[in-house]
Amino acid sequence: MNTPELFSLTVDDQTAVSALWLQPPQPRAAYVFAHGAGAGMRHGFMEALSQALSGQSIATLRYQFPYMERGSRRPDSPAVAHAAVRAAVAAAHSRLPGAPLLAGGKSFGGRMTSQAQAAAAMPGVRGLVFVGFPLHPAGKPGIERAAHLAQIDVPMLFLQGTRDELAEPGLLRGVVQGLGDSSTLHLEDDADHAFHVRARSGRTDEQVVQALAVALAAWVAERAF
């Protein structure tokens, strides 16, 4: 297991947050990996997927949103979250300027990243990767949260579980198809929004994490960014 570098990420004149940079020996891409609404960058899933991606020669930059850095449970406003996303993307780009740069994240983090990209394309970003895109609230199917995705002009990869309570598979499949050939949906059977699988699935959570890393790496290779 590689040890990530902890550093301070400046968001603006008044705000700095913690960040983690994990770089494999010969990185073929860098992924700016934002955390979900309820857990920060050091969550076990975030750490496990970052390590798995390192094994696939993909560097990762994890970071805290300002509210998480303060220890608050209330997510930042979109404007504040978008500023953090942009700062993280710029930091990753400066660390690996010659490598393809991808951005996205887990649930809330992925949605904040896509909103930022839709509002104004971030320099250097070649693609977006969502790890459990939160298409709708649990128990309230809908596609309103995906409306802004049509404004994004870079390829997008959706890594989702078939039991994701925040993204009904049929609805998400329709959204991705509507975005055209530049968007790809990868489904992990029996995985929920946290990418947990039941024992009867015949797989472990660790195997799912490895499968996600392999899928992301294959997508990067296929797209030849």
Start-to-end Cα distance in the chain: 27
Select from 159, 170, 173, 169 the least CA-distant residue to 209.
159
Note the pLDDT tens digit of each residue in 145-158.
999 999 999 999 99
Q: What's the confidence (pLDDT) of residue 170?
A: 95
- Residue type for position 32: V
Q: What's the confidence (pLDDT) of residue 225?
A: 73
Cα–Cα distance measured from residue 187 to residue 151, given in angstroms and rounded to the nearest whole number: 24
Cα–Cα distance measured from residue 112 to residue 34, given in angstroms and rounded to the nearest whole number: 9
Split at pLDDT 50, 70, 90, the class of 39 is: very high
Cα–Cα distance measured from residue 177 to residue 208, given in angstroms and rounded to the nearest whole number: 24
Note the pLDDT tens digit of each residue in 120-136.
999 999 999 999 999 99
Split at pLDDT 50, 70, 90, the class of 196 is: very high
Split at pLDDT 50, 70, 90, the class of 219 is: very high
pLDDT at 89 over 90: yes
Average pLDDT, the chain: 97
**Do the Cβ atoms of 122 and 89 come closer than 8 Å?**
yes
Cα–Cα distance measured from residue 92 to residue 88, given in angstroms and rounded to the nearest whole number: 6
Q: Which two tokens stand for residue 8?
A: 């301070």
Domain boundaries, the chain: 5-223
Cα–Cα distance measured from residue 108 to residue 115, given in angstroms and rounded to the nearest whole number: 11
Given the candidates 3.20.20.70, 3.40.50.1820, 1.10.3480.10, 1.20.1440.60, the CATH classification of the domain at 5-223 is 3.40.50.1820
Task: Summarize the confidence of residues 6-19 as an average pLDDT.
Answer: 97
Note the pLDDT tens digit of each residue in 100-126.
999 999 999 999 999 999 999 999 999
The answer for residues whose C-beta is within 8 angstroms of residue 113's C-beta and 6 or more apart is 32, 34, 85, 103, 104, 105, 128
Split at pLDDT 50, 70, 90, the class of 26 is: very high
pLDDT at 224 over 90: no
Q: How many CB atoms lie within 10 A of CB 13?
A: 6
Q: What does the DSSP assignment read for 43-101? A: SHHHHHHHHHHHHTTEEEEEE--HHHHHT-SSPPPHHHHHHHHHHHHHHHHHHSTTS-E
Q: What's the confidence (pLDDT) of residue 1?
A: 78
Cα–Cα distance measured from residue 92 to residue 112, given in angstroms and rounded to the nearest whole number: 17
pLDDT at 10 over 90: yes
Phi, psi of 200 (to 5 degrees): -70, -10
- What pTM value is reported for the model? 0.97
Tell me the three state secondary structure of residue 214. Answer: helix
pLDDT at 2 over 90: no
Q: Which two tokens stand for residue 123?
A: 């320099």
